[in-house]
Structure 1
C-alpha cells in the first residue's frame, strides 16, 4: 500500500505494503523462474526479464510466441532502435536510458498507477523513504482526485517546507518553472526531491491569492517523525501518525505509553493525509488497539486468502476517535476500517481515499526492482474499499481558509467534541 511521502502521498505510500509472508512466497515463486534462455543482445535480455514478471517466464532456449516477448515484438523493438540510431536528430542517445524506457513502458502498460519499475537510483531512494530518512523538502504531496492535480497535504514541523512558508492545500502548478500537467504523482515527487543543499522552485496556486505563489525551497535530509503526540485538555491524548514506515511501530508504542502514563481518558488518532506504507507496521500498531480477530485479510487473483490477526491481549480500554480525510489512504484505511468495524472508536472528518489493494516489491537482482499490485484487501467485516473509501461516523469538512489564515483546525475541534461525549457516557 503506498502515497503512494514527499513525499509520496500515494500513499509510498507510498505509498505500498512491503513484503509480507504471502509476498515472500510470491517473490520466491517469481525468482525461481528467472533463468531464461540466452538472447543475442543485452537490450533484448533485459526486456525479456521484465516481460517474465508478467508472464511467468519463457522457456530456456526459445521465446514464448503467445506472450509479449515474441519474434514480432523483438523484431519491432530492434527496428525502432535502428530508426533512432540512424534518424534521431541527436547522436548522443544513452542506450541504458533507452532500455529503462522499455522496462518502465511495459509496467506502465498495465494501467495501474501503483505498479512501478524502479531504476537502481529510484530503488535506493525507495529504501531510504521506507526507513524514514530521505532528501527532500519535508512536505507531503497527494493527488486531488476531483481536480486531478498534486496538492500539498501536510508540512513537517521544522522542515525546509515549513521554513519556506508552504501551506497545506497549496496546489502545485510548476516545478522549476516546468508544468507538471499530465505527470503522475511519483513523477511530480521525483522532480521535487533532490540532493541536499540544492534548491527547487515551486509555483503554487493558493486559496485567497490572486496570483500564483512562487517559492524556493532548499532541500535537506529529512528524518521523518512519523508519530507525534500532544496532551489536550480534559484528559484527551492526541497521537498523529503521518505514515507507516519501519520506524513507526516503535514511535507509536512509545508515544502511546507516554500518553497513558499521563492518565488520559481518551485517545485521538490523527490519520489525516497519511498515505499508508508498510502492511506489517500497521498490523503491529493495530494489535495494540483491537480486540481478538482479523485486522485485515488479502485475496490474490487465484483466490488465496491471507489473514492478519490480532490476539486481543492489548485491546485499548478507553474511548478512541480517529481523524480521517480524503488523503488518508492504504494502511491508514486498514487501521481506520478495523476500528470502525469493531466499533471501538468513532471516525471524524471526510471519506478516505479508497485504496484497497496491496503491492509487493520484486528484486530483479541487478540493482533494480518492480513493484506490482498483487492482491485486494478487505476490512474485518469483509469490505473492499478500493475506489470507494471509508465514510466517517461524523462528517466535517476542513475549513482550509481558517486553517491557513487563523491556524484553526475545525476537524480536530469537532473530534474533541465527539471524544468528550464518549468520555462522559
Structure 2
C-alpha cells in the first residue's frame, strides 16, 4: 500500500520497509503507536533526507549573476544550444509517439538533466507544482480535508488510511478504510495516488465531494477544505514514569508540537524520556536546533562547512533538562535526525538505541526562481557536535538491537522499543 497525506511528497530517496518508527500516526489499543505499514500489503515510504539551511539567495531571474567557479564559460553555451535544437529535430522526426510529449515536458527534462549531471541525488529541479508541494511539506501545513490516503498496489484502489485529529475529515462521516471511488464526480479508478490526492486538495474554504464505497455501498460526502497542520510529534506515558515521544519529521510545526507533548508528559510525572527518531528522514535546520536547545547543555549543536571551507556554527544557550534520556534510531533516521541524535551522543546526555543511522551529512539550499519553479542544491557538509563527519557513514548506536520483523508481524512486538524501555528502566533503577 502506498501511503501519503493530502499532499504530494517530493523527496530524495525511496525505500520499502517494515519500520515501526516511521509515520506512526495512530495509537494502538494495547499502547504505543500503530506502525507505518499494514501486514501483507506493500508500503512505499518516501524519505525526505533534506536538511534545509535557507531558502533563496543570489541567482538568475532578476537577481545578481553568479560566478560558476569554473575555468570554462559553463555548459550552456551557443554550441550546446545548437546541439539541443538538433537533438530535438531528430527526436521529433523519428520518435514514434511525438504527439504524446509536450514542449514543456521536454524543457523540464532539460532542466532536470542539467542538475542530474552533478551526480548528486540531492541536487535537483522542481516544477512550480512540485515546489509548492515541497514547501507545504517542509512547513507541515497543507490545505485539504486532513486525511491520509493510501493505495493498495494489488487492487489499485485508493483508501482512507487515517484521519488527522481536529481536521475537516474528523468532523465528517469519513472513516478509515473507506474506498475513494469518485472526487467531485470524477472516477478515480486507474489514477495514480498523487493524482487522487491532488484532486482532494484545494483552496481553503472550498468544498470537495468524495464518493466513497463502504461495505459495498456508495456514499457521497461533501467536506469543506481547511488549513491542516500535519502531526509530526506524538507521545504517551508508559509504566514507571517513562515518557515516550515520537518525532516523524522536522517541519516548521514540529517545535510547538514537541513543546506541547513535553508539557503533557511532564504534567503526568515523567521521570525519563525516550525520543523515537526511527524512520525520521529529517527536515529543516531551524526546527531541529529549536528542539535540541530544549535538551542539550550550552554549546555547539553542529556546524557546517561549505565548498570554500567557511564554517558556520549552530549553538544553543542550554536547557535545564536533567531527566534520563534514550533516543531510538534506525537505518532510516537521516539528516536532521542525525544532528539531534549525534548531539545527544556527543554531549553524553543520553543513550542511542537501535541501528546505525542513514548517514546523510550534507545540507541543501532551496533556490526559488521567478517562474515559480525552484532548484535544490547541496551547499555544505555538516559535522556533529563532536566534529564527526557522518555522511555515508551514519551514527553507531550505543546499544545495537535489530527489529525482529517476524515477531512484529506476528504480534506487534517492537524489539527495539522494548530494548529502549529496558535501558531506561536501568537508568531509573527499576
What TM-score does the superposition give when structure 2 sets the normalisation length? 0.71
Query: CA separation of 1:32/1:83 partners in 2, compared to 1, >3 Å: closer, same or farther?
Result: closer
Query: CA separation of 1:245/1:330 partners in 2, compared to 1, >3 Å: closer, same or farther?
Result: same
CA apart distance, 1:66: 3.2
**Partner SS state of residue 382, structure 2:** strand
**Partner SS state of residue 28, structure 1:** coil
CA apart distance, 1:406: 0.4
CA apart distance, 1:74: 1.3
Check whether the contact 2:57–2:367 (CA below 8 A) recurs between aligned residues: no
Check whether the contact 2:9–2:133 (CA below 8 A) recurs between aligned residues: no
Q: Report the more deviating stretch, 330-339 or 90-99.
A: 90-99
Correspondence for 1:393: 398
Which of 356, 362, 365 is matched with 1:360 structurally? Answer: 365
Which of 72, 77, 81 is matched with 2:79 structurally? Answer: 72
Check whether the contact 1:8–1:189 (CA below 8 A) recurs between aligned residues: no
Check whether the contact 1:272–1:323 (CA below 8 A) recurs between aligned residues: yes
Unmatched runs of 5 consecutive residues or more in structure 1: 37-51, 58-63, 141-154, 166-175, 179-187, 200-219
Does residue 87 of structure 1 match 2:94? yes
Structure richer in helix, relative to its length: 1
CA apart distance, 1:354: 0.5
Which of 35, 42, 50 is matched with 1:16 structurally? Answer: 50
Alignment of 1:18-97 (within 5 A): 18-20=52-54, 27-30=56-59, 34=63, 55=68, 66-92=73-99, 93-97=101-105
Give the number of equivalent residue pairs: 340
CA apart distance, 1:100: 0.6
Structure richer in strand, relative to its length: 2
Which of 243, 251, 260 is matched with 1:245 structurally? Answer: 251
Correspondence for 2:283: 277
- Distance between the aligned counterparts of 1:10 and 1:66, measured in 2? 30
Correspondence for 2:267: 261
- Distance between the aligned counterparts of 1:293 and 1:78, measured in 2? 56
CA apart distance, 1:410: 1.2
Query: CA separation of 1:109/1:275 partners in 2, compared to 1, >3 Å: closer, same or farther?
Result: same
- C-alpha RMSD of the superposition: 3.4
Unmatched runs of 5 consecutive residues or more in structure 2: 14-45, 151-159, 170-174, 179-188, 201-208, 212-222
Does residue 383 of structure 1 match 2:388? yes
Correspondence for 2:429: 424
Correspondence for 1:108: 116
- Distance between the aligned counterparts of 2:162 and 2:343, measured in 1? 29
CA apart distance, 1:7: 4.7
- Distance between the aligned counterparts of 1:157 and 1:400, measured in 2? 23
Which of 382, 387, 411 is matched with 1:406 structurally? Answer: 411
Give CA deviations for 1:133-172 in whole Å, capped at 9, x if unaligned: 45798489xxxxxxxxxxxxxx985479x9569xxxxxxx
Give CA deviations for 1:277-333 in whole Å, capped at 9, x if unaligned: 111100000000000111010000000111110111x23110000000110000000
